[in-house]
Structure formats: C-alpha cells, structure tokens
Amino acid sequence: MESGDLKIFQAVAREGNITKAAASLGYVQSNVTARIRQLESELNTPLFYRLSRGVALTSAGSNLLKYADQITRLLDEAVKSTQFSEEPSGALRIGSSETTAAVHLPGIMLDYHRRYPNVKLSLITGHRADLVRALNEYELDGAFISGPLDYPDFDEIRAFDEELVLISEPTEAALRDLLTKPLLFFGKGCYHRKRLEQWLHEENVGPMNIMEFGTLEAIMGGVAAGLGISLLTRSSVKDWVDAGKLQAFQIPKRYRSSKVHFVFRRDLFRTSAFNHFIEPFEKTE
C-alpha cells in the first residue's frame, strides 16, 4: 500500500463514485477501478459496496478511511517540515472565543500580519466546545480559550489575564438583587457561565433562568435592554460601560480572575509561522 493508493481510496470514498473520483484526480476510471481492486486484494477485504449508481464504504473501508486521513495529515506535516524555513509562510488557523477575538486579537493579528505578510492568517471564532473539537480534528493550529483545559493531548500557554465583571443595564439596584435576573450567555460549555453558576450556587440563588445567545453583541444588547445580567470580561464591555449603556459590577475575588490560554495539540508540527505567533506569549508566561 502506498500513499498514492490512499489518495485514490480517499477520493473514491469522498465522491462515492469511481468515475467522479477519477476525474477529480486526473486519472481515467479504469485506472481507479484497478487501483481500488488491487488495494482490496492486498488487504484481502472489500473496501466498497458496488451500487447501481456509485460505491459506498464497507465497515473495513470506513476504518481504513480514518487511517488514510491521519496518514495524509502526517504526510502534509512531513512536507511542511522539509519546507521549514525561518521566513514564516503558509496557513495559520487560529480559533478564539468572541470576547477574546474582539478585544485582544485585532492588534495581535495586525502586528503579526505586518511582520509576516506571507502567512495566510485566519481567525475562526466559536464556543469553547467547538474550538476544542476543531483542535482535536486538526482544523485549527491553536485557539485562545478561557480557563484551564487540562487535556492530555493539548499544550497550553497563558496568554491574557482578564477580570470578569457582572453586567446589567444601568441601575440603582444592589448587586445581590440583580442575581435573580435571567442570565444571558453563550451556549453550554461557556467558561464564564460556569463561573457565574458556581458563584450563584454558593450564594444559594436559584433556580437560574438562562438565555443563550450567539454573539457578544447580542448578549450586551440584551443586557442593556434590561433582559437580564451576564458575566463578561471588563475589557470586552468597556466601550458599552463608558457609553453608559451597561453597568459593570466587581464580583468576589475568587471568581473575578479569568485566564485566557493559547491551546494547541501536543503532536502539532510547529511551523515557523506557528512559532512566531506564540513567541510573545511564551516570553510573558
């Protein structure tokens, strides 16, 4: 079995059709058929069910596809490693929560882009669980995630220290009274939400009425409109607080601090582009 065989196998699995796979690879159909047949013969097991219109993976084929994807990724990394140079280039895919992306990353990304214009930098924002999944699937090179992660497959570097504040609409009400209002948060897995839930549990406040929102703007807008309260970083709400649209309350010390880590897979091949990106955080850690 060679990498070329796996490439053909992946194309057929992806297309579900030998003729289309052949076209996508620039081969003729007969060649792809023969290569798949040969692979099946070598492995002594059928990899595809032959259907009237195309092919479908057998369970053995599904298993092989998982390995084929991993091998392809490793080969890509191997190629990258041979092209490793001091001048960073290639793609760098960074993930981040909305709050970190809005406050910290514009400046960092701009500075990095100016220094290393040959790197194709992309920033994907998402919820914590989505970022972790994307890291696991090698869809991201690294991600800024709030709070400790402690996954054995991941390395993490402390990137930013944040102060969490409770926000509400501008009000005369005392902090204690605000805690009974609905909580506005991102989806499940949101680290700030866990913090607030812990705190409210300790304060014997409950049951909590939680509303989930998709964006930071939506949460702040909802809070400003009096829909409820939320827990966000002081820096992310600063503009709204300064504009008088929101009020920020200091919360107890043990819940106040939020550390944002830059997290990446331990087995990730560190390109020059990646190393230069994490350099400033490694220095300050």
Partner DNA sequence: GCGTATTGACTGCCTGATAG
Partner DNA sequence: CTATCAGGCAGTCAATACGC
Residues in the chain: 285
- Kindly tell me which of 49 and 67 has the beta carbon lying closer to DNA: 49
Q: Which amino acid is at 36?
A: I
With H, G, I as helix, E, B as strand and everything else as coil, classify residue 203: coil
Helices (H), 137-252: 175-178, 191-202, 216-224, 234-242
CB of 36 to DNA, least distance (A): 6
Q: How far is the CB of 11 from DNA (least distance, A)?
A: 12
AA identity, residue 167: I
Residue 281 is inside which H or E element, if any? helix 272-284
The β-bridge partners of 122 are 93
- In the bound state with DNA, the residue whose beta carbon lies nearer, of 54 and 187, is 54
Comparing CB distances to DNA, the nearer of 37 and 120 is 37
| Angle value at C-alpha 225, between 224 and 226, nearest 5 degrees | 90
For the chain, the distance separating the N- and C-terminal CA atoms, rounded to the nearest angstrom, is: 45
Q: Which residue number, 4 or 206, has a Cβ lying nearer to DNA?
A: 4
Exposure string over 100-122, b if 16+ CB within 10 A, otherwise e: bbbbbbeebbeebeeebeebebe
The nearest distance, CB 20 to DNA, in angstroms, is 7
Compare residues 27 and 116 and give the one whose CB is closer to DNA: 27
| Nearest distance in Å: CB 47, DNA | 10
Q: Could you tell me the two tokens for 38?
A: 């040969």
Task: Give the three-state DSSP class for 196.
Answer: helix
- Which residue do the tokens 């909802």 mark? 222
Shortest distance (Å) from residue 17 CB to DNA:
5
- Closest CB to DNA among residues 44, 85: 44
Closest contact distance (angstroms) between CB of 40 and DNA is 9
Q: Which is nearer to DNA, 17 or 236 (CB)?
A: 17
User: In the complex, what is the shortest distance from the CB of residue 245 to DNA, in angstroms, rounded to a whole number?
Assistant: 58
Which residue has 């990730």 as its token pair? 268
List of residues contacting DNA (CB under 7 A): 2, 4, 17-19, 26-31, 33-38, 50, 53-55
Q: Helix 216-224 vs helix 234-242: angle between axes, to the nearest 10 degrees?
A: 50
